[in-house]
A and B are shown apart, each in its own frame.
Chain A
Amino acid sequence: MPSTDAEPYLRVEDLSVSFPTRDGVVRAVTGMTYQVALGKTLGIVGESGSGKSVSSLAVMGLHDMKRTQMEGSIRIEDTEVVGLPEDRMRRLRGNAAAMIFQDPLTALHPFYTIGAQIVEAYRVHNPDVSKREAKAKAVDMLERVGIPQPNRRVDDFPHQFSGGMRQRAMIAMSLVNNPKLLFADEPTTALDVTVQAQILDLLQELQRDFGSAIVIITHDLGVIAEMADEVLVMYAGRCVEYGATREVLTHPEMPYTWGLLNSVPELTGDPEEALLPIPGSPPSLLNPPNGCAFHPRCGYSHLVPADLCTRELPLLEPSPRGESHLKRCHLLDPENDMRTHEPVVDDDVLEQPDLVVADRVQAPDQQTLSTAGDSNG
């Protein structure tokens, strides 16, 4: 296990989340284990549909529980969340654990003022606070996250804010109850590049003040490098690499992580040089490949003897770099192999058409099964 000095605040153990659908069971997350201590940041990185958002929504209990199967254990401080009655779960949500969403424009209600939305978040867990006090608190929070003229802007609607300010307001709203655990689901993806760094700085500054544990979910390795103490790489619903951020980013021990790093442009690199994308596309979670889920796209599986990659799922086990750096790969010394061998890519993978979106199924509560809305006379 990656070592943490302090007692972890969030412990996820062997978490599996699946959604029964008409076409079969979608195993969005399988056997995921991680932990985060107060004041620390864990980055979860992966492509769309890798299960990174699903795992955090599961911790928050934000799935439609009737359509979701959850196994394993999630402990927030001393509370087991899996199987917790909705009424008790509700009291944790937004209070002990809060969440920041990707697109602050759609995540804020367009019909209520920023202030009203923060007041609501505050008063639901502090019902004795008067509306006036709650509004003063909202102004404080807005000021805290760097909104200019907060006592005037508190009465603005979300559409009157710029993208970066909306995300600041979202952060103010999620921190209003001083949560010990904060999930940030792609908090900068929908923002201008110039604003992204400001938001990340703000999150780090607030983390220092509030001492929260943060789980940041992203596909952006730059965000991970900037924010995370530890990083967990997900592929096809499973953790494939887990360790200290610097360690994983400089000594990747899994060909998928290697591929992710190679697809990031370098500022000091040769501008003419083409990026190395990972060939193919992520597998369907309805019907994942046998063996290692990454093998159809892996350029190094020919180094593993006896077709092991196509037959057997590798375990998440310590890498040659040490006990605190876990990898899920049959290669005995992946980093060394990747540095010394050229990748060999199967032609099939390159010709394989992109999967249709439906194959990378998301949680059912994000699907619209709308049969209504049709008109009649």
Chain B
Amino acid sequence: MFGYIVRRAISGVLVLIAIAFGVFILYFYGPSDPAQAYCPKNTCTPAQLELISRNLGLDKPVLVQYGDYMKGIVVGREIKTGKLTEPCGAPCLGISFKQDLEVRPYLMGRFPATLSVAVGGAVVFLLVGVSVGVTSARRRGSALDRGLVGFTMFTTAIPYYLVALLGYLILINQTGLFPGSGYFSPFTEGPIAWIKGMLLAWVILGFFYSTAYARYSRGSMIEALNEDYVRTAKAKGLKDRTVATRHAFRAAIVPIVTIFGIDFAGLLAGTIFTEYIFDIPGIGVAALQSVTNKDLPLISATVLIAAAFVVTANLLVDLAYAALDPRVRL
């Protein structure tokens, strides 16, 4: 088990190194000159572009820059921007080109907002989605089941940003059923303000994801209910509810955990629409801005963070498998 974790951690690190390299290659050999982005109205002379490049350190060979970047993550480095030299401690993710701030503290400052969205949304979609799916599976073929399946199909077909945008406009702006939205730290501004600001984002995000979870868990539960051991449980004289929960659901939960791990990693990497629409300053919006700004240190940092979450989630899912299913040995 320990050896397994070590092996997986090593391969995870290799994946991240490769991904960072990919980001650098795309950035430098992509269709536009990075320096061009810092040139107002694209009216710079070649000499001015060269100056920009030198100031940002973009004139050095790509491999050297990549090496510097990776070294900064491991031991820290000093970054020269024009005449200034700024220290950047490990793990150094660089200094933003566009704004004069260090990337790591900047993203760490935005992470609680993203984490709030992810955790709250996940609580909603796990509770709603899984219970809808299980109910549906236990009454398979009934009017209730058909209604729920139809409804989830219908809502899945609507684009998420439309649901979120309409939800924001109708539930906050027009009817005022929900308090305004935004991120308030639960520690400095109090949990009430935090919940009030996040509530609609949780509901909408959770609602949207729960349609998918309703379908996963319905399918998984139907499969489990058809297992021989569920019939055995019934033959013991257990109550239907006990059979459904302790026997069928216990088995049905395993595939749901897999999907949840990957989805949750995705949420932690930033929810662009949710953060944008509900005015939540998280990682997703930062990632979006970094791309429009061609801000290499921020781009590679957000990509690496997302990749690290996915790698970690995969490992955790495998560990959860081993914990849930005694037949699995790592």
* The residue from A101, A365, A373 contacting B220, defined by CB atoms under 8 A apart: A373
Interchain CB contact under 8 A, B223 and A370 = yes
**Stretch of A30-38, A118-126, A130-138, A250-258 at the chain-chain interface:** A118-126
CA distance A69 to B232 in the complex (A): 22
Interchain CB contact under 8 A, A374 and B219 = yes
* The residue from A93, A110, A373 contacting B235, defined by CB atoms under 8 A apart: A93
Interchain CB contact under 8 A, B215 and A366 = no
Q: Is A340 on the interface with B (CB-CB < 8 A)? A: no
Indicate the member of A60, A365, A366, A376 with the most B CB atoms within 10 Å.
A376
Interchain CB contact under 8 A, A374 and B222 = no
Interchain CB contact under 8 A, A62 and B238 = no
Residues of B within 8 A of A62 (CB): 231, 234-235
Interchain CB contact under 8 A, B327 and A159 = yes
- B217-237 vs A: 1/0 string, CB under 8 Å? 011101100111101111111
Interchain CB contact under 8 A, B223 and A373 = yes
Interface size on B, residues (CB 8 A): 36
Known A62-B231, A90-B237, A95-B237; judge A368-B326 contact (CB<8 A). no
Chain B: which residue is nearest A120 at the CB level?
A: B236
Chain B: which residue is nearest A103 at the CB level?
A: B228
Q: Is A208 on the interface with B (CB-CB < 8 A)? A: no
CA distance A371 to B327 in the complex (A): 28
Residues of B within 8 A of A95 (CB): 237
Interchain CB contact under 8 A, A159 and B326 = yes
CA distance A90 to B327 in the complex (A): 31
Known A107-B228, A125-B237; judge A157-B219 contact (CB<8 A). no
Least CB distance from A181 to B in Å reads 12
Interchain CB contact under 8 A, A110 and B231 = no
CA distance A83 to B236 in the complex (A): 19
Interchain CB contact under 8 A, B237 and A94 = yes
Interchain CB contact under 8 A, B219 and A372 = yes
Q: Is A106 on the interface with B (CB-CB < 8 A)? A: yes
Interchain CB contact under 8 A, B212 and A376 = yes
- A339-377 vs B: 1/0 string, CB under 8 Å? 000000000000000000000000001101111111010
Interface residues of B in 147-175 (CB under 8 A from A): 149, 156
* The residue from B140, B229, B242 contacting A110, defined by CB atoms under 8 A apart: B229
Q: Is A246 on the interface with B (CB-CB < 8 A)? A: no
Known A109-B229, A372-B219, A373-B223; judge A99-B235 contact (CB<8 A). yes
- A100-115 vs B: 1/0 string, CB under 8 Å? 0101001111110000
Known A111-B251, A372-B215; judge A94-B235 contact (CB<8 A). yes
Q: Is A224 on the interface with B (CB-CB < 8 A)? A: no
Indicate the member of A86, A98, A174, A373 with the most B CB atoms within 10 Å.
A373
Interchain CB contact under 8 A, A107 and B236 = no
* The residue from B156, B226, B235, B250 contacting A368, defined by CB atoms under 8 A apart: B226
Interchain CB contact under 8 A, A157 and B326 = yes
Residues of A within 8 A of B228 (CB): 101, 103, 106-107
Q: Is A92 on the interface with B (CB-CB < 8 A)? A: yes
Interface residues of B in 191-220 (CB under 8 A from A): 212, 215-216, 218-220
Interchain CB contact under 8 A, B219 and A90 = no
Q: Is B325 on the interface with A (CB-CB < 8 A)? A: yes
Q: Is A302 on the interface with B (CB-CB < 8 A)? A: no
- A173-186 vs B: 1/0 string, CB under 8 Å? 11000000000000
Residues of B within 8 A of A121 (CB): 236-237
Q: Is A91 on the interface with B (CB-CB < 8 A)? A: yes
Interchain CB contact under 8 A, A90 and B229 = no
Known A98-B235, A107-B229, A376-B215; judge A369-B156 contact (CB<8 A). no
Interchain CB contact under 8 A, B236 and A366 = no
Q: Is B190 on the interface with A (CB-CB < 8 A)? A: no
Residues of A within 8 A of B223 (CB): 368, 370, 373
Residues of B within 8 A of A86 (CB): 240
* The residue from A103, A173, A366 contacting B226, defined by CB atoms under 8 A apart: A366
Q: Is B239 on the interface with A (CB-CB < 8 A)? A: yes
CA distance A170 to B232 in the complex (A): 10
Indicate the member of A125, A174, A370 with the most B CB atoms within 10 Å.
A370
Interchain CB contact under 8 A, A111 and B215 = no
CA distance A92 to B324 in the complex (A): 32
Least CB distance from B130 to A in Å reads 13
Known A369-B140, A372-B215; judge A111-B324 contact (CB<8 A). yes
Interchain CB contact under 8 A, A106 and B229 = yes
Residues of B within 8 A of A111 (CB): 250-251, 324-326
CA distance A106 to B229 in the complex (A): 6
Known A103-B228, A111-B324; judge A124-B236 contact (CB<8 A). yes
CA distance A60 to B234 in the complex (A): 10
Residues of B within 8 A of A125 (CB): 237
Least CB distance from A97 to B in Å reads 9
Residues of B within 8 A of A99 (CB): 235
Least CB distance from B233 to A in Å reads 7
Known A111-B326, A372-B149, A376-B212; judge A93-B237 contact (CB<8 A). yes
Q: Is B247 on the interface with A (CB-CB < 8 A)? A: yes
* The residue from A93, A120, A170, A373 contacting B234, defined by CB atoms under 8 A apart: A93
Residues of A within 8 A of B137 (CB): 372
CA distance A369 to B236 in the complex (A): 25
Chain B: which residue is nearest A91 at the CB level?
A: B237
CA distance A366 to B156 in the complex (A): 30
- A31-66 vs B: 1/0 string, CB under 8 Å? 000000000000000000000000000001010000
Interchain CB contact under 8 A, A371 and B237 = no
Residues of B within 8 A of A157 (CB): 326-327
CA distance A62 to B325 in the complex (A): 27
- Give the 10 A-B residue pairs with the shortest CB-CB distance, closest first: A373-B219, A372-B219, A94-B237, A106-B228, A93-B237, A94-B236, A109-B229, A372-B218, A121-B236, A107-B228
- What are 21 A-B contacts defined by CB distance under 8 Å? A62-B231, A90-B238, A92-B237, A101-B235, A103-B228, A109-B232, A109-B233, A110-B229, A111-B325, A121-B236, A124-B237, A124-B242, A125-B237, A157-B326, A170-B232, A365-B226, A368-B226, A372-B137, A372-B216, A373-B216, A373-B219
Residues on A close to B: CB < 8 A?
A: 60, 62, 86, 90-95, 98-99, 101, 103, 106-111, 120-121, 124-125, 157, 159, 170, 173-174, 365-366, 368-374, 376
